[in-house]
Amino acid sequence: MTRTSHTHDLQDGTPDLRHGTHDRRYGDLALTKAGLPGWLDPVVRAVETVQPRQLSRFLPPEDGAGRQSAVLILFGEGERGPELLLMERATSLRSHAGQPSFPGGSLDPEDGDPQADGPLRAALREAEEETGLDPRGVQLFGVLPKLYIPVSSFVVTPVLGWWREPTPVDAVDPNETARVFTVPVADLTDPANRVTAVHPRGHRGPAFLVESALVWGFTAGIIDRLLHYADWERPWDQDKQVPLDWRA
């Protein structure tokens, strides 16, 4: 696939981090679209224009409460074309056990300012700690608006990256991560793999049956919105339901 150069400005209120600092561990902590593959163009446009309410009805509390965190939405290119990096949490964990997710977690004090490049550093650090990813091979190109997960009080900054130089990944700590895997975007857009997850409490949300896993919750919601606003979504049967375990 051809590579194209992008020089667009961020338009969603996100701090302009294109001229970020240099970190010995992570390289240039900046958002840059230069040299991205052309197939990422729709994602770039979606990131630049999407508004918080278009992603979720759960937004960070206005009083600033919540645990600052970040996730890495990492696009790579595999044998079947574009793909996303996901991990599956260990079944022994007290919360979200066995649930697929993006790499990520809470910001540490050394990550820096949550309103500046802190989320970038946290997303890369957590991905490295959880999957063994070499962050020097990742090009960060966008940040989505901060979102909120009420059940855990997390204020989450989704950070988007291009896996420019792929390296081997695997579960670093089996007590926390059961496995690390990639999912072709073609499988995520396949209507046969799309369902509506129904929580015992009645909550409903988009989900994906891929790679022997049910991707649901916050992660599935972000994927669903990215596919939609990047115009990658294909019509699917939203009445096709999968019940979630009561412990979910």
DSSP 87-153: EEE-TTSSSSTT-EE-SEEEPPGGG--TTTTHHHHHHHHHHHHHH---GGGEEEEEEPPPEEETTTT
Give the C-alpha separation, 33 to 172, whole Å: 30
- What pLDDT does 202 receive? 87
- pLDDT (average), residues 88-110: 83
Which token pair is 91?
Answer: 């079944």
Quick one: how far is CA 66 from the chain centroid?
A: 19
66 HSE (CA, 13 A, CB side): 24
Indicate whether 39 pLDDT > 90.
yes
Confidence of residue 29 (pLDDT cuts 50, 70, 90): confident
Q: How confident is the model at residue 11 (pLDDT cuts 50, 70, 90)?
A: very low
pLDDT digits (tens, 9 = 90+) for 199-239: 998 899 999 999 999 999 999 999 999 999 999 999 999 99
Among candidate residues 105, 90, 88, the one with its CA nearest the CA of residue 174: 90
Average pLDDT along the chain: 88
Task: Find the mean pLDDT for residues 38-62.
Answer: 96
Over 80: is that where the pLDDT of 168 sits?
A: yes
Band of residue 120 on the pLDDT scale cut at 50, 70, 90 = very high
Helix axes 217-229, 41-49, angle to 10 degrees: 110
Give the three-state DSSP class for 240: coil
pLDDT at 8 over 60: no
What angle (nearest 5°) sits at the alpha carbon of residue 241, between those of residues 240 and 243? 165
pLDDT, mean of residues 118-132:
97
pLDDT of 247 reads 64
Mean pLDDT of the region 36-43 = 98
* Alpha helices, H only, the chain: 41-49, 52-55, 118-131, 185-189, 217-229
- Number of helical (H) and strand (E) elements in the chain, helices listed first: 5, 14
Q: What are phi and psi of 86, to 5 degrees?
A: -130, 165
- Are the C-beta atoms of 19 and 9 separated by less than 8 Å? no
The mean pLDDT of 91-99, rounded to a whole number, is 65
* Model confidence at 2: pLDDT above 80: no
Q: Read off the pTM.
A: 0.89
